[in-house]
Amino acid sequence: MDPDLSAPHSMGTTIIGVTYDGGVVLGADSRTSTGMYVANRASDKITQLTDNVYVCRSGSAADSQILSDYVRYFLNQHTIQLGQPATVKVAANLVRLFSYQNKNMLQTGLIIGGWDKYEGGQIYSVPLGGTVLKQPFTIGGSGSSYLYGFFDQAWKDGMSKDEAEKLVVKAVSLAIARDGASGGVVRTVTINAEGVTRNFYSGNSLPLWHEELEPRNSMLDILLSGASPEPMSI
């Protein structure tokens, strides 16, 4: 079947937000699809809104990008007027406001995570339609269907930063193994009182699950390296 290259860019994806004792960890895969075609295998789905608040984007790439741009602009104005950083709750409610007022036109689900001096680390989920939910952890995107049972068993209150980071990376790698619309690399963002830390996990460093095959060089990688491909054997 020929790929429909005129289809809208969609981040059928896996996005995760987890609170821990002292902050939050956000995580996402990096595959962006156009119909059946992988348009971008290394996209960044975790977008900065303010110095202390980030958003994980899923659904239509265009919708989530423009919504993030609008929210970032208004949060910047809010910060200038108040003379202090916007809280995570303010950012989440601004996302909710735009999502709800444009719910008939937007196809995007978002996870807002951050830290502020009033309530510490917080995670908010804004699914399709513009509802806002504050949760200790939340998952979204097409890969989330495979993770509900895993999180019910694996998540616990009062985790350390390292435990939360490992949980997020393991969960995204599990979704990549099962969900055809999730793939690529894993990116995480940790936000706490000390600031923001970004981490990157290449596909080769992720654990293999169930019947996944070991990664092999593609024909393109072989040609770019200057080596000759091995002849096929029957």
CA angle 129, 27, 197 (to 5 degrees): 125
Q: Which two tokens stand for residue 175?
A: 């979704």
Residue with tokens 């999502």: 99
Could you tell me the CA-to-CA distances from 70 to 6, 49, 54, 90, 94 in Å, in that order?
26, 10, 14, 14, 9
Of 1, 44, 10, the residue nearest 180 (C-alpha): 10
Q: Is 13 a catalytic residue?
A: yes
Render 114-168 in DSSP notation, one character per residue: EEETTTEEEEEEE-TTS--EE-SEEEESGGGGGTHHHHHHH--TT--HHHHHHHH
144 Cβ neighbours under 8 A, 6+ residues apart = 14, 15, 175
Of 45, 62, 63, the residue nearest 54 (C-alpha): 45
Q: Which two tokens stand for residue 91?
A: 């950012």
Instruction: Give the active site residues.
Output: 13
